[in-house]
Structure 1
Amino acid sequence: MAQDSPQQAPSVTPTTPARTLLRSIVPAVAVGVVSSLLLIGLETAAEQLQDVLWQTVPDALGVGRYSVAWMFAVLFATGVAVGLVVWKVPGHAGPDPATVGLDAPVLPPAVLPGLLLATALMLAGGPSLGPENPIITMNVGLAAWLGARAVPRAPGRIWPVLAESATIGALFGTPVAAALAISEALAGRTMRGLLWDNVFTPLIAAATGALTVTFLDRPSFDLGLPSFGRPGWGDLAAAVVVASVGAVLAMCAVYAFPFVHGAFRRLRHPMLMLPAGGLVLGCLAALGGHLTLFKGLDETATLAHDPNGWSAGEFAVMTVVKLAALLVAASCGFRGGRIFPAVFVGTALGLCAHALVSGVHPSVGVSAGVLGVLLAITRQGWISLFVAAVLVAEPGIVTLLVVASLPAWLLVTGRPQMQLRPDGTSVR
């Protein structure tokens, strides 16, 4: 019998030796611990300052904690404070945040203190952004700098991957989110070796980061929404419609992003751009109320704990105001991420749908709304599905969300993203 020719031989993907993977465990664990501790430290410091700004000081002055005048004053002062950091601190708190996504650049160590300070001030002061983009950038820069000195023979590209994975795991309290983000990133690259060889070390970093945060902070994304039981055809229809509406609504902000950013850029100086942004955010807070302030995670839980506590009109106002606040805060120069405020937008939209149509179950409306908004804002399909699913924590929701993601994705794919190039045009 003739031997098979080389052209007929089956291709075999080379694997990574176990000893190579074993050597990567200690660096991955170290990056996971340090990244999660920096996140905890940042959020703890910001929460302490937030209590001072929004409780201690107004109580001492005898003014309402969330009176219109106080919201204006604090948001304007936050713009001034962050503007001073961007203007005067070495490194200017990093690049324009409108040009940065979750795939963070490696910044010099001298830039990181300013970015850390600007982010802490933003989180405490009330602008509608989360910590995710800046903390990933800080951890990437720190890991690259320390890693190059501690393990000089290691490939330089490994440190940013470990830091990103560790930080995503810490942010969401589970390595699953990091695994999904890694797989999505690898989909556009040529991999060398098996998938699990490529994700082995990042998953260790993500798991370490998630465990550290879980042991020290015990985060939870379950909103405690009412159980919807076995999903039916009505639930499927509601999920598809709400997710699509959320995607279309968020795309309005995406299309407006370069124009709003350009309007603030014409002010040319951070001491004009950021205080002006603070004033606009004060106007929006006066319109939407104090629940539309901050990164939105605690405020999202407040809405979810009482799905019938507001009218459809009130939910609609909060949806639009929070989305506008996210757009303004991301455009005027505040350092922050967009995932957590987008979750609030999707939650308010889903509860608005429930208030308008009683047949839309709150859990279905919230998860579908979050899915649609996140798909448009982040363009990260797996992360969007993951976040929307964990908010409800019922297995039956996953199938509904996967189906609902398909028409929502068709509405956003190939269109501008909520990230700009240095020249101010949208990334596609």
Structure 2
Amino acid sequence: MSVGQSGPVGGAPATAPQDPFAPLRSRGYLKLLVLAALIGVPICAVAFGFLALVHELEPLIYQDLPQALGFHDTPVWWPLPMLATGGALVALTIRHLPGNGGHEPADGFSPAGAPALSALPGIALAALATLSLGAVLGPEAPLIALGGGLAVGALRLVQRGLTDQAAAVAGAAGSFAAVSALLGSPLLGAYLLMEASGLGGALLGVVLVPGLLAAGIGGLIFTGLGNWTGLGTYSLALHNVPKAAEPSLAEFGWALAIGALAALAGLGVRRLSLFLKDRVARHRLPATVALGLAVGALAVAFAEATGKPPSEVLYSGQSALGNLFHDTAGYSAAALVLLVVCKGLAYCASLSCFRGGPIFPAMFVGAAGGVALAHLPGLTETAGFAMGIGAMTAAMLRLPMSALLMATLLMGPSGLTVMPLVIVAVVVAYVLTARLTPAPRAGAPAPNAAHGRRS
């Protein structure tokens, strides 16, 4: 065949290029869209109920129970027995129920497919014990697993011979719906899942549209249930964010520094949590109880040193994130640094043995660190807050675009003003994290490989 001649080599018949939009034109795809819309409604109701239960249990355990036992106020040592109890419940759930209680959070945020229906009770129980008793993890990972598992499991029950592509689309739609309102916007939750799952090309188009449809309907359901019950939507929201000044040259220097510090902090958190995780696996029950006590002890130590409530160290930080701006007047720089250290160590311990998501604690630790650095010259609180969130989230999740969106979209107009600074901090944190993270050994199993079983 001469140069410049069109046609196949060796006279083989020409093949037409594959149409990437062919699945979208099929009747089966329209059925998937209808299914995604239908999936969004019950799964969002389940997700809303799960979050409502967690938020009802938190004050019940840390306020009502001590009063019922005769204490006038919650004793400062109260987190110790509660976290030990939580550790025991999580360990027993992992040991005796199918599904390992969900994915290992120390392995990172990497959705690994919809779990089997038989695994969902264990995932829900482990997450409830983790979140309601004060461990430093968030609800996003169990919600993603529950949403995807319920969607695929329900579809398999009503339709035999479900194809892998249909299961993937249904699972994604269920996960999109379950976290549709958690991060403040259905779009933000959808983008997080797309970046974490590595969807691209034709598959992105096939999965994205049903997922977005389920997320949009889910957001409406969350809002409707929140208004109807008066409980709110449990969505991450920042109110009364101070107006940001235009970025200065000094703040671009701070962006480099915050990105580097976040990369080092994230590397330390991951390495310590993985170190602890390997030891927890050998002695699940006593080690999880001991690490629960360690989380409680960190909260008590912080409260005794600063006069602040232990709850500042406990939980994911989702609710406390919006109060950081308003509470900084009562915090010295030293107290903020102590908060970062105690919350960060509690985060490591929780990642190693409890069950939940890593996003909100990373955001909180980064935000608190950024506000602490704002006590130094050349950095405003709003810029430090946003850069800290973006850089620490990028370092922990290794999802730079999601980290950028979380740090800016949640802050409204101020987020757009400081976006150039956040971009620099996120890029530095992401690249430095990649360079400092050792390459996986040849033949080593991928994270969550043991727990990615589909229904």
Aligned to 1:302: 323
TM-score in terms of structure 1 length: 0.87
| Structure 1 residues 351 and 121, CA gap change in structure 2 (3 angstroms) | same
Aligned to 2:341: 320
**Residues 140-178 of structure 1, C-alpha deviation per residue, up to 9 Å, x if partnerless?**
211111012334456222222222222332322322224
Q: Shift of residue 13 of structure 1?
A: 5.5
**Residues 360-406 of structure 1, C-alpha deviation per residue, up to 9 Å, x if partnerless?**
11111011111111111111112211111134222212232223222
**Residues 243-276 of structure 1, C-alpha deviation per residue, up to 9 Å, x if partnerless?**
332222121112222212223233x2x3212211
Q: In structure 1, give the amino acid aligned to 2:214.
A: A
Q: Shift of residue 96 of structure 1?
A: 4.3
Q: In structure 2, give the amino acid aligned to 1:280.
A: A
Query: Which among 198, 219, 230 is matched to residue 210 of structure 1?
Result: 219
Aligned to 2:383: 364
Contact 2:196 2:399 in 1 (8 A): no
Separation of aligned partners in 1, 2:126 and 2:100: 9
Q: Shift of residue 88 of structure 1?
A: 3.6
| Structure 1 residues 287 and 223, CA gap change in structure 2 (3 angstroms) | farther
Separation of aligned partners in 1, 2:279 and 2:143: 27
Separation of aligned partners in 2, 1:345 and 1:422: 34
Q: Shift of residue 412 of structure 1?
A: 0.9
Output aligned runs, 1:401-416, within 5 Å: 401-416=422-437
Aligned to 2:452: none
Separation of aligned partners in 2, 1:317 and 1:28: 46
1:15 is aligned to 2:35: no
Query: Which among 268, 287, 301 is matched to residue 301 of structure 2?
Result: 287
Aligned length: 417
Q: Shift of residue 425 of structure 1?
A: 9.1
Q: In structure 2, give the amino acid aligned to 1:202.
A: G
Q: Shift of residue 124 of structure 1?
A: 1.0
**Residues 85-143 of structure 1, C-alpha deviation per residue, up to 9 Å, x if partnerless?**
33344555345444473413432212211221221121110010111111211222111
Instruction: Tell me which moved more, 90-99 or 285-294.
Output: 90-99
Contact 2:238 2:411 in 1 (8 A): yes
Aligned to 1:180: 191
| Structure 1 residues 402 and 95, CA gap change in structure 2 (3 angstroms) | closer
Q: Secondary structure of 1:224's partner?
A: coil
Separation of aligned partners in 2, 1:168 and 1:102: 15
Aligned to 1:258: 274
Instruction: Tell me which moved more, 135-144 or 396-405.
Output: 396-405
| Structure 1 residues 55 and 425, CA gap change in structure 2 (3 angstroms) | same
| Structure 1 residues 164 and 104, CA gap change in structure 2 (3 angstroms) | farther
Instruction: Tell me which moved more, 361-370 or 54-63.
Output: 54-63
Q: Secondary structure of 2:181's partner?
A: helix
1:141 is aligned to 2:149: yes
Instruction: Tell me which moved more, 242-251 or 62-71.
Output: 62-71
Q: In structure 2, give the amino acid aligned to 1:41.
A: G
Q: In structure 1, give the amino acid aligned to 2:173.
A: L
Instruction: Tell me which moved more, 210-219 or 403-412.
Output: 210-219
**Residues 203-250 of structure 1, C-alpha deviation per residue, up to 9 Å, x if partnerless?**
112222223223323434224331113333333333332233222212
Q: In structure 2, give the amino acid aligned to 1:174.
A: S
Separation of aligned partners in 2, 1:229 and 1:325: 34
Q: Shift of residue 313 of structure 1?
A: 0.8
1:375 is aligned to 2:384: no
1:342 is aligned to 2:362: yes
Contact 1:257 1:327 in 2 (8 A): yes
| Structure 1 residues 104 and 163, CA gap change in structure 2 (3 angstroms) | farther
Instruction: Tell me which moved more, 338-347 or 170-179.
Output: 170-179
Contact 2:146 2:175 in 1 (8 A): no
Aligned residues with identical type, % of pairs: 26
Q: In structure 1, give the amino acid aligned to 2:426.
A: S
Contact 1:342 1:374 in 2 (8 A): yes
Contact 2:107 2:447 in 1 (8 A): no
| Structure 1 residues 365 and 422, CA gap change in structure 2 (3 angstroms) | farther
Aligned to 2:181: 170
Q: Secondary structure of 1:106's partner?
A: coil
Separation of aligned partners in 2, 1:422 and 1:274: 29
Separation of aligned partners in 2, 1:24 and 1:188: 18
Q: In structure 2, give the amino acid aligned to 1:341.
A: P
| Structure 1 residues 424 and 25, CA gap change in structure 2 (3 angstroms) | closer
Q: Shift of residue 311 of structure 1?
A: 0.7
| Structure 1 residues 363 and 87, CA gap change in structure 2 (3 angstroms) | same
Contact 1:262 1:424 in 2 (8 A): no
Output aligned runs, 1:220-259, within 5 Å: 220-259=236-275
Q: In structure 2, give the amino acid aligned to 1:211.
A: L
Q: Gaps (5+ residues) in structure 2?
A: 9-15, 227-231, 304-309, 449-455
Query: Which among 49, 54, 58 is matched to residue 66 of structure 2?
Result: 58
Q: Gaps (5+ residues) in structure 1?
A: none
Q: In structure 1, give the amino acid aligned to 2:419.
A: V
Separation of aligned partners in 1, 2:149 and 2:108: 14
For the aligned residue pairs, the C-alpha RMSD in angstroms reads: 3.2
Contact 1:420 1:426 in 2 (8 A): no
| Structure 1 residues 308 and 196, CA gap change in structure 2 (3 angstroms) | same
Output aligned runs, 1:147-158, within 5 Å: 147-152=155-160, 153=162, 155-158=166-169
Query: Which among 272, 277, 285 is matched to residue 271 of structure 1?
Result: 285
Separation of aligned partners in 1, 2:249 and 2:376: 19
Aligned to 2:55: 47
